[in-house]
Every structure is written in structure tokens, then in C-alpha cells.
Amino acid sequence: MEKNEGIYLRPIREDDTADIIRWRNSAKVKQFFIQQDDFTEESHLNWLSNYVNKGKAVQFIIVDKKSDRSIGSVYIKDIDMIHKKAEYGIFIGEEQNQGKGYGTEAARLMIDYAFNILKLHRIYLRAYTDNDRAIASYKKAGFEVEGVLKDDVFVRGKYRDMTWMSIINQAD
């Protein structure tokens, strides 16, 4: 994909598996996911085979432009071409690259891809309501809060509220 100010996106490859597993299993990343099971090579390769390779998801690796090193991943899943929508997700796996605005930049690139290449109408996401940093980043990228679902998920022995956000393709 087109390079931007600090990062660029490239399609995920099978040889990214070790990085994805390391990032997703790190406590700093895992705490923000609903799915708390450890990622394994088998589960990741299953994801690539049954979702990414079959067009049910699109996943990119976020690459730091200065170092040309992989720092995280951005994806859309549950792609619904009938209703032209998909769910958005992201994580910056390299701790030293967190909090630098790369997440907002990656979101903007993925939104552009989803709207202009895939021709989607709506992208939505879910975030823990207390994940202020992520919600602020999503807002900077153009997502708007649609609402809060109380006690929506049961994670690590307690119910958690989820903030639902979306962005609509205004070109439609």
C-alpha cells in the first residue's frame, strides 16, 4: 500500500506468524482483546487459511517507515459484501512504537482501503469502554461512537462494557 508519514501497510504473509503470535500473546496487547486464549501457530495459520485467504478478512502488517520493521497489524474481518460492512481491529505489537500515532495512521490507511478498494459502506469496531487511548485514536481516524453496551462481554471473570464505533463511507 501507499507509504504515509510514519508507517506503511503491507499484506500479511505466512512468515509473519512468529511476530503475530509474540505480539498477540503479550500482556500489553492481549489485555485489550475480547479473545483471551493464547495465539498459537496452528490458530494463526488457521486464521490465514480460513479467513484471510478466503476473503472473509483482510489483514496487513504495519511497518515503521524509518526502520522498515514490522510493528503491528491492522485488519478487517467478517466482511459482509451484501451489506458492505466489516469489523475493524488493530494492535501495535512493538511496545516502543505504541503511543506514537501509528495506530491512527494505520486506521486511516485501512479505512481508505476498505472504502476505495473494497467499496465498503461501513466499518465498525468494539473497544472496552475504559480503553481511552484506543477510543481517542479511533476518533482521530474518523470513527464515531454509536453507543455503549453494558456488561457486553465476560472477560477474566468479570463483565465489561463495550463502546461501539463506526465510520461511514460518505462517498456512497
What is the domain range of residue 115? 7-122
Query: What is the structure's pLDDT at 3?
Result: 45
Rounded to the nearest 10 degrees, the angle between the axes of helix 102-116 and helix 132-141 is: 50
Secondary element (H or E) of residue 124 = strand 122-128
Residue 31: which CATH number?
A: 3.40.630.30
Q: What tens digit of pLDDT does each residue of 10-56 get?
A: 999 999 999 999 998 888 887 788 787 888 999 999 999 999 999 99
Whether 9 contacts 110, CB under 8 Å: yes
Q: What are the residues facing 74 on neighbouring strands?
A: 60, 90
Question: Is 37 inside any structural domain?
Answer: yes
Question: Is 144 inside any structural domain?
Answer: no
Question: Is 153 inside any structural domain?
Answer: no
Active-site positions read: 138
pLDDT exceeds 70 at position 80 = yes
Q: What tens digit of pLDDT does each residue of 105-116 get?
A: 999 999 999 999
| Dihedral angle over CA of 122, 114, 4, 15, nearest 10 | 130
Question: Is 142 inside any structural domain?
Answer: no
Question: Is 106 inside any structural domain?
Answer: yes
Residues with Cβ within 8 Å of residue 103, at least 6 apart in sequence = 72, 90, 92, 134, 137
pTM as predicted? 0.91
Quote the number of domains for the chain: 1
Question: Is 169 inside any structural domain?
Answer: no
